[in-house]
Amino acid sequence: MEESACSKAEPFALQVLGDSMQPEFMNEVVIVVDPEGVVRDGCYVVAWHNDEYIFRQYRFHDGKHYLVPLNDLYPTEEFAGPENIKGVVIQQAGRRRKDRKFY
């Protein structure tokens, strides 16, 4: 993500690429991310990890921080912690109102 004219506190939209977060988030679905969102165990986050942005579920267990894919074909990775989280997913957009989900 590059610097923009948007406020750092302003929510932004991203398109999910790939199947690592299926079945909850399908390939090409749009998610809304709040950079000021409250980070809690189990929430969905966009984080900076291994020199790239990654979309995963945040888990905190036994004093360690993890980025967990929902698709078992991908590995769970330990990471530095909440200071590397760039935002919390607050909505999954849908073409129709009934397809929208809030988190």
Specify the pTM.
0.87
Please state the domain extents for the chain. 12-102
pLDDT in tens, 7-52: 568 999 999 999 999 999 999 999 999 999 999 999 999 999 999 9
Distance CA 56, CA 36 (A): 17
Average pLDDT of the residues in 72-76: 97
Second-level CATH architecture of 12-102: Ribbon (2.10)
Distance CA 73, CA 80 (A): 23
Distance CA 36, CA 31 (A): 15
Share above pLDDT 70 across residues of the chain, in percent, rounded to a whole number? 92
Which pLDDT band holds residue 3 (cuts at 50, 70, 90)? low
